[in-house]
Amino acid sequence: PSMDWRPVQGVPCLRPMSAGIGSSAPATLMRISGIVDGNFSLVAGCKLNQITGINVFTHVCLVVFIFTYSLLISQVTSEAEVQAAVFLAREKFGKLDLAVNCAGIAVAVKTYNFKKDLPHSLEDFQRVINVNIAGTFNVIRLAVGEMGKNEPDADGHRGCIINTASVAAFDGQVGQAAYSASKGGIVGMTLPIARDLAPMGIRVITIAPGLFSTPLLAGLPEKVRSFLARQVPFPSRLGHPAEFAHLVTSLAENPMINGEVIRLDGAIRMQP
């Protein structure tokens, strides 16, 4: 039987992002769709913040892209700013088809530092949970309200949400209690939200990336980068952001994938 693929060409899309793995998504979506770059004016911004001494690539860019448009926001946890972005998408393009959640922050702290007799900062833990889980959910809950207004296709499909978790949700390492908990939360809410939205024909999928060549890893010494690359069974290298974007495109186009978490990691299983 013929398959009812949904090409991403011209798809109105919200993309909360960090400066890392999600940065290639728009270009890849455009390239795979056969869209000429000259038809677009796309701004993908990022910002490096200092939060209690921890370097964090934050979620300052929400991109709505089709033809010539881009929108910056400062917080995915802000209802007003995300809602404003959704309204602008509707005003500019008439609908919203795809939301890709790439924003996230992390801290690397053990549960208790026995040498310094110091517990993990509760404030830092709560911040990671708030941005990574609540921020993701905030974008989902507001974006799907607009998607629900779309006319369904013959299959009843109205839209798609793609979230970003991490292999840390399954293979959390030392010092990753907050980050692993936050990514585990995204994994855990994927299926129930997919079930919530199934009657409206809105799919929900999560990607769990492994080690990717993001600006964070690019700043590490080459010796460390090579060591990390060798931990990946095959291909034995860091993933390219374009490979993440390629999966986003495939998931958006394949209507049967729903309520699933997909590891994109070269078969790595992180060591403690």
Residues with a known catalytic role: 179
Q: Are 202 and 272 in contact (CB under 8 A)?
A: no
d(CA 211, CA 233): 12
d(CA 215, CA 103): 14
How far, rounded to the nearest angstrom, does the alpha carbon of residue 221 sit from its chain's CA centroid?
26
Q: Are 102 and 160 in contact (CB under 8 A)?
A: no
Structure tokens at 170: 């399954």
Amino acid at 73: I
Q: Find the DSSP H helices in the chain.
A: 25-32, 79-93, 122-129, 135-147, 177-197, 215-218, 222-230, 241-253
How far, rounded to the nearest angstrom, does the alpha carbon of residue 108 sit from its chain's CA centroid?
20
* H or E element in which residue 63 lies: strand 61-64
